[in-house]
């Protein structure tokens, strides 16, 4: 898979932690319409600060991403390093510093090894920028088990996305780290609201462990090389790519073995459906039941019930299904437990809840909770 027209990518190994690729630069030949959504964490990293500043005008020419070091909670020196990273990238690509977006992911509280960063940039040439999409996705991985890529078409234009993220994931108007590139021609003023709508239905609908990262970044850039396309087609293609990446992120959650999809309908509005869906997918008891293939629908009922502010939800109006099989309000003795257990043991589980209030609906994505998640995070920095 190649990037859309007008984009080039370059990867390499700075030596942040080991000899694997740990830096990615994606660039166009000029500033192009760009929309970026970022974490709302009170501990947002210096890279977020720089990207918000540089992307405020709705354009950018390049983005640099460093993996295995988040450069978060590193004070004035960390901010200076993020700005220097933008400067080094602009010199390599050949553009203004303020046309560079910066992202970083990995361990919190450690300064970037700037001597190694400077040495790497000094040995690079942008004429070598020929990385393919899979290589770009691999360069930003941390505890991901595989590169995450997706693509779609919008008339003559293409949309290609990469993402990383498997832990510390429950976004708040952003996502883990995602870069989506398209060669469609679109104004910044149209791209930004379009991207916000797409992100709200996809990346903002995923949760691995309820923890919002300090470095969440979701960026889309449009080179315009393919010319104008129908806006509805473009939004649809962006949505296809974002949803594909969302599902990959949830399925690859740290230690995960099962993708959990929670569909809530019959809600007062879409916002209520999302709140209830998140309560279900974030429940450790629901997650462990799925991991154990235990058809304990009572845990789903519990998760709905703890949404105590939703006073228009009445238990007698609620229907809970595992897949297409209704499990509540049927009596436990009426359930085919062996068949339900077999379904829950599969690679993807749908929990479908109908609230019986009105017509709102939303779908969220998550994963089971395994001992693998505990082991990965217990040993993360050691």
Provide the pairing of β-strand 325-328 with 319-322: antiparallel
User: In what helix (H) or strand (E) does residue 356 lie, and over which residues does it extend?
Assistant: none
Query: What mean pLDDT comes out for the span 241-264?
Result: 95
pLDDT in the model for residue 281: 97
If we measure between CA atoms, which residue out of 84, 93, 38, 88 comes closest to residue 60? Answer: 93
pLDDT in the model for residue 168: 82
* pLDDT tens by residue, 173-195: 776 899 999 999 999 999 999 99
Q: Residues 67-95, buried b or exposed e (16+ Cβ, 10 A)?
A: bbbbbbebeeebbebbbbbbebbbebbeb
- In the predicted model, what is the mean pLDDT of the chain? 95
If we measure between CA atoms, which residue out of 168, 174, 112 comes closest to residue 142? Answer: 168
Query: What mean pLDDT comes out for the span 270-286?
Result: 97
Q: Residues 41-65, buried b or exposed e (16+ Cβ, 10 A)?
A: beebbbbbbbbeebbeebbbbbbbb
If we measure between CA atoms, which residue out of 8, 51, 10, 11 comes closest to residue 27? Answer: 8
Residue 375 has pLDDT above 90, yes or no: no
**Measuring CA to CA, how many Å separate 37 from each of 67, 235, 302, 355?**
19, 16, 33, 31
Q: Does the active-site annotation cover 175?
A: yes
Residue 360 has pLDDT above 80, yes or no: yes
Query: What mean pLDDT comes out for the span 27-56?
Result: 97
**Dist CA 235 CA 226 (whole Å):** 16
**Dist CA 237 CA 151 (whole Å):** 8
Of the pLDDT bands very low, low, confident and very high (cuts 50, 70, 90), residue 382 is low
Residue 317 has pLDDT above 80, yes or no: yes
Which residue matches tokens 């296809």? 240
According to DSSP, the residues that pair with 69 across neighbouring strands are 107
According to DSSP, the residues that pair with 222 across neighbouring strands are 182
Query: What mean pLDDT comes out for the span 276-289?
Result: 97
* pLDDT tens by residue, 6-20: 999 999 999 998 889
Query: What mean pLDDT comes out for the span 90-119?
Result: 96
Of the pLDDT bands very low, low, confident and very high (cuts 50, 70, 90), residue 380 is confident
pLDDT in the model for residue 370: 92
User: In what helix (H) or strand (E) does residue 254 lie, and over which residues does it extend?
Assistant: none
Share of the chain above pLDDT 70, in %: 99
Catalytic member of 175, 178, 246, 258: 175
Of the pLDDT bands very low, low, confident and very high (cuts 50, 70, 90), residue 378 is confident
Residue 280 has pLDDT above 90, yes or no: yes
Winning range, highest mean pLDDT, from 170-179, 210-219, 270-279, 370-379: 270-279
Q: Which two tokens stand for residue 339?
A: 């068949």
pLDDT in the model for residue 376: 83
Residue 26 has pLDDT above 70, yes or no: yes
Q: Which two tokens stand for residue 19?
A: 């000899």
Residues 6+ apart with CB under 8 A from 322: 295, 297, 340, 343, 344, 349, 350, 351, 352
Contact 78/85 with Cβ under 8 angstroms? no
């Amino acid at each position: 898979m190649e990037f859309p027209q007008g984009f080039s990518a370059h990867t390499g190994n700075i030596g942040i932690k080991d000899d694997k690729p740990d830096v990615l630069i994606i660039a166009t030949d000029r500033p192009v319409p760009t929309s970026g959504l970022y974490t709302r964490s009170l501990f947002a990293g210096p890279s977020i600060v720089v990207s918000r500043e540089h992307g405020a005008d709705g354009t950018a020419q390049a983005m640099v991403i460093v993996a295995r070091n988040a450069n978060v909670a590193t004070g004035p020196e960390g901010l200076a390093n993020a700005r220097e990273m933008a400067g080094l990238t602009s010199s390599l690509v050949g553009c203004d510093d303020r046309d560079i977006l910066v992202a970083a992911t990995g361990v919190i509280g450690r300064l970037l090894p700037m001597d190694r960063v400077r040495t790497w940039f000094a040995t690079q040439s942008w004429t070598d920028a020929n990385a393919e999409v899979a290589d770009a996705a691999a360069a930003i991985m941390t505890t991901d088990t595989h590169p995450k890529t997706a693509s779609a078409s919008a008339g003559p234009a293409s949309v290609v996305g990469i993402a990383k993220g498997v832990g510390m994931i429950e976004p708040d108007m952003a996502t883990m780290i995602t870069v989506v590139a398209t060669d469609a021609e679109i104004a910044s003023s149209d791209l930004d609201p379009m991207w916000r709508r797409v992100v709200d239905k996809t990346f903002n609908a995923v949760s691995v462990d309820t923890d919002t990262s300090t470095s969440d970044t979701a960026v889309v850039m449009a080179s315009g090389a393919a010319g104008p396309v129908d806006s509805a087609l473009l939004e649809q293609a962006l949505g296809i790519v974002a949803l594909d990446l969302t599902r990959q992120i949830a399925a690859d959650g740290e230690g995960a073995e099962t993708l959990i999809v929670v569909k809530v309908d019959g809600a007062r509005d879409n916002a209520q459906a999302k709140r209830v869906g998140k309560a279900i997918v974030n429940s450790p008891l629901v997650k462990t039941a799925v991991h154990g293939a235990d058809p304990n629908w009572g845990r789903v009922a519990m998760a709905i019930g703890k949404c105590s502010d939703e006073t228009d939800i009445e238990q007698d109006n609620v229907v809970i299904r595992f897949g297409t099989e209704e499990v509540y309000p049927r009596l436990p003795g009426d359930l085919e437990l062996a068949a339900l257990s077999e379904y829950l043991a599969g690679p993807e589980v749908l929990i479908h809840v109908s609230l019986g209030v009105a017509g709102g609906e939303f779908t969220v994505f998550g994963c089971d909770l395994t001992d693998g998640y505990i082991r990965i995070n217990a040993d993360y920095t050691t």
